[in-house]
Chains A and B, each alone.
Chain A
Amino acid sequence: MARSRKKYSSGQTWQAYIFNSPLILITLIFVFLPVAGTLITGFFRNVTFMPNKFIFLENFYRLFGDVHFWQSVRFTLLFVFVSVGLELVLGMMFALILNEAFPGRGLMRVAILIPWAIPVAISARIWQLMYNFDFGVINYIVIHLGFVSSPVNWLGSPVGAFFSIVISDIWKTTPFITIILLAGLSLIPDELYKQAMIDGTNFIQRFYYITIPLLRPVIVVALLFRTIDAIRIFDLIYVLTGGGPGGSTSSISLYAFKYYITGDFGYGSAISIVVFILASALAVLYIKFGNFAGELK
């Protein structure tokens, strides 16, 4: 393992390893080991009321033919697509707004941090109350403003539940995207806009030809984080709908969880591995696409 350009004394290397050891150790034990363990468990029949047995790919075959599993995959992918898409649009809007100086901007920045900083489980309960069919404030407003004539069953119908979850998720995560985009916006030099204005462009043209291209790397990073995050959605759905009605809002993580708590660790592990592969695949896709876009510039 010759690296001719770097020279290091063994003393320095020794020190470096000491400095890094806590991080490496903890990551090995609490991340690497469990992932490997989960993968291996997926190859076993691991059920609380049956003896353990190595069944190799049987759990995965079962997964392949499991209608409810595929339903959860469809739901998760749809959720990710809709949610992250809407967040990006909204986040962009809000970032543009916050980029301008106006009175109360500092207060705004605190305000948008709050949804992101509160535990999902807690804000989910607030939303659960607001979506309540009989006395929730959302139905109250929607009826009194005349949008609908009778109360909407937000959490009790598959479509309603889907949108309820999306709305609650957007509420929580748009601030995060806003902050990231805002930071990116602040890096764009003002002169570019001033020049464009002199050249007689309007706002939309400036947005399309200056803002978007220069923001591209930031957008890709934000999308990457958010997509990976959205794939593993659990907290919100567990509290808001529990996966119902009838399993229609069960995300993949929730589906795996269900098997863990009814005692089938083997199958739950198999599902978890699939989530893992999905998230990794998406990450790889993004990085490739992100680089490609960067090279275009």
Chain B
Amino acid sequence: MKEEKVKKILLYAGAIFLFIFCIAPFVWMVIVSLNKHPDFLSNNVPFILTINNYIQVLTTKSVHLLDYLRNSIIISLAAAFFATFFASLSAYSITRMNFPGKIFIPIALLGFSMFPQISIVGYLFKMMTDFNWINTYYALIFPYITLGLPLALWIMLSHFSQLSKELDEAALVDGASRFQILRKIIFPIALPGAFSTFMLIFIYSFNEFLFALMFTIDYKARTIPVGIALFEGLYGQIPWGYIMAAAVVAIIPVILLIALFQKYIIQGLTEGAVKG
């Protein structure tokens, strides 16, 4: 009995600690974003609530906050879509067909996923310059698709391998082509897995920093992590109030995603790691 009680107390204490641990910085971010003086913890600095930071940051054109947000969303959507699509095609063919070198592909991709970005970014920068893609969406979409493929492939592989091959075989006998099978039979069933993949790649692309830092120059293609990281004073001292307000705006899409689709996200993560 005693052990039960001790365990329960530890459990609740641990849970509360975990919750605070995760949420505290965000709470702080919101508090500072709503304050006139970000240094209100110093002596003699008043604590004044205001939404001026948000207004400034959303309406000052030279801040380009909404531009960054738009760029990030479009780029991430495109990357997630294509990564999921290409990975599904590959996963389907690997689980359903036999061809030379098919074991190679997942292993090679797993290997590639371990490449540190810094090892690629230098030469990729030169390539992007030659393609004349610097400061355009293409410069980020293609690398992001590539970054997402390994994870996407592993998740879709695990999904497809669980789907019974009989379905395929029956349809084949009936004279359907591979593409039709994929579209009409497999795709509807695999949708949840594909959706998890899509979510995960969206998040990873949205958060990417190094490539975005080097391949974009201004509001035309710059993404929001870079925008916020480089948000410098319009006024000398770092304008923390503005930065926090911008940060709140920046993470709204991601928070929404998690709130709505956390089941899929967690599923995707565990699938990629545990069953892989």
Contact B12 A276 (CB under 8 A): no
Q: How distant is the Cα of A202 from the Cα of B109 in the complex, in angstroms?
A: 44
Residue of B nearest to A261 (CB): B214
- Tell me, yes or no, whether A75 is within 8 Å of chain B by CB: no
From known contacts A6-B98, A19-B89, A126-B29, infer whether A31 and B116 are also in contact, taking CB-CB under 8 Å: no
Q: Which residues on the B side are within 8 Å of A238 (C-beta)?
A: 209, 213, 229
Stretch at the interface among A53-61, A78-86, A116-124: A116-124
Stretch in A63-71, A156-164, A175-183, A188-196 touching the partner: A175-183
**A23 near B255: Cβ-Cβ < 8 Å:** no
> Within 8 Å of chain B (Cβ to Cβ): is A114?
yes
Contact digits for B146-181, partner A, Cβ 8 Å, 1 yes 0 no: 100100010000000000000000000000001000
B244 CB–A CB distance under 8 Å: yes
Decide yes or no whether B56 CB sits under 8 A from chain A: no
- Name the residue of chain B whose CB is nearest to the CB of A3: B100
Is B23's CB within 8 Å of the partner chain A?
Answer: yes
The answer to whether A23 touches B118 (Cβ under 8 A) is no
Please determine whether B25 and A171 come into contact, CB atoms closer than 8 angstroms: yes
Cβ of B18 within 8 Å of any chain A Cβ, yes or no, is yes
> Known contacts A119-B207, A135-B40, A260-B125; is A279 also within 8 Å of B114 by CB?
yes
Q: Is A121 touching B225 in the complex (CB atoms < 8 A)?
A: yes
- Residues 76-120 of chain B, each 1 if its beta carbon lies under 8 Å from chain A, else 0: 000000100111011011100111101001001101101111111
Residue-by-residue, is B244-272 near A (CB-CB < 8 Å gives 1, otherwise 0)? 10010011001101110010011001100
The answer on a CB contact under 8 Å between B257 and A117 is yes
Q: Is the interface of B mostly helix, strand, loop or mixed?
A: helix
Asked if A8 meets B98 with Cβ closer than 8 Å, knowing A23-B89, A119-B250, A260-B122, the reply is yes
* Interface flag for B34 (CB, 8 Å): no
Which residue of the partner chain A has the closest CB to B223? A119
Q: Are A12 and B115 in contact (CB under 8 A)?
A: no
Question: CA separation between A99 and B39, bound complex, in Å?
Answer: 40
Taking A20-B93, A26-B145 as contacts, is the C-beta distance between A122 and B269 under 8 angstroms? no
Bound state CA distance, A225 and B270, in angstroms?
13
Instruction: Verify A117–B146 contact, CB threshold 8 A.
Output: no
**Chain B residues within 8 Å of chain A by Cβ, number:** 94
Contacts of B126 in A (CB 8 A): 37, 265
| Docked-complex contact B119 and A100, CB < 8 angstroms | no
Verify B97–A276 contact, CB threshold 8 A. Answer: no
Q: How far is the CA of A119 from the CA of B244 in the complex (A)?
A: 14
B244: min CB distance to chain A, Å: 7
A213 within 8 A of B: no
Q: CA of A93 to CA of B11 in the docked complex: distance in angstroms?
A: 10
Judge whether B58 is part of the interface by a CB distance below 8 angstroms.
Answer: no
A15-B178, A37-B126 as given contacts; A102 in contact with B11, CB under 8 Å = yes
**Contact A137–B41 (Cβ < 8 Å):** yes
B window 10-50: CB within 8 A of A? 11-12, 14-15, 18-19, 21-23, 25-26, 28-29, 32, 38-42, 45
Complex interface: chain B residues within 8 A of A221 (CB): 273-274, 276
A27 close to B25 (CB less than 8 A): no
CB of A117 within 8 A of CB of B99, answer: no
* Complex interface: chain A residues within 8 A of B109 (CB): 23, 27
CB neighbours of B28 from chain A (8 A): 126, 129-130, 137
How distant is the Cα of A103 from the Cα of B126 in the complex, in angstroms? Answer: 54
Cβ of B274 and Cβ of A180 under 8 Å apart?
yes
Complex Cα distance A10/B47, Å?
74
Cβ–Cβ < 8 Å partners of B26 in chain A: 114, 126
Which of B11, B15, B89 neighbours the largest number of chain A CB atoms within 10 Å of its CB? B15
Contact check, A113 vs B207: say whether CB atoms are below 8 A apart. no
A110: Cβ under 8 A from any B Cβ: yes
Q: Closest residue of chain B to A139, judged by CB?
A: B41
Q: Tell me the complex Cα distance, A156–B214, Å.
A: 27
A275 to B258, CA, bound (A): 33
Q: Cα distance A127–B243 when bound, in Å? A: 12
Residue of B at shortest CB range from A170? Answer: B21
A-B contact pairs, 18 of them (CB 8 A): A3-B100, A13-B99, A19-B89, A20-B93, A27-B112, A34-B127, A38-B122, A102-B12, A110-B262, A111-B19, A122-B250, A129-B28, A140-B41, A180-B273, A234-B210, A238-B209, A238-B213, A238-B229
4 closest Cβ contacts across the A-B interface? A37-B123, A232-B116, A135-B39, A183-B270
